[in-house]
Amino acid sequence: MERRYSDWCLEFASTFGSLNYEQYRLRMRELRDQRWRLNLKTLRQIESLIPDAGSHSELQSLAEALERAIRQGATDRYPGP
């Protein structure tokens, strides 16, 4: 994501135009979604490793927040103008 963002910024700085903005936008959204899904998967693995995971409200609320973010992220304006 860092590299894609940097490439886009440099492209903009070289042209002062946003010709390929749509490609950049779609790729960044895709990467963010992948990143959140990987985080959620990792979180589930952590939960399965901890015997009393049920008492870890922090893990649960993190997982819920991630699920919510993935749902809401499908229609938000990221990465913005």
Binding site residues, other proteins, CB under 8 A: 1-6, 9-10, 12-17, 28, 31, 34-36, 38-39, 42-43, 45-46, 49-51, 58-59, 62, 65-66, 69, 78-80
Per-position b or e across 41-61, b if 16+ CB within 10 A of its CB: eebeeeeeeeeeeeeeeebee
CB of residue 46 to other proteins, shortest distance in Å: 7
Alpha carbon distance 8, 20 (integer Å): 8
Query: Which residue's CB is nearer to other proteins, number 26 or number 46?
Result: 46
Distance from chain centroid for Cα 16? 27
Query: Which residue's CB is nearer to other proteins, number 1 or number 26?
Result: 1
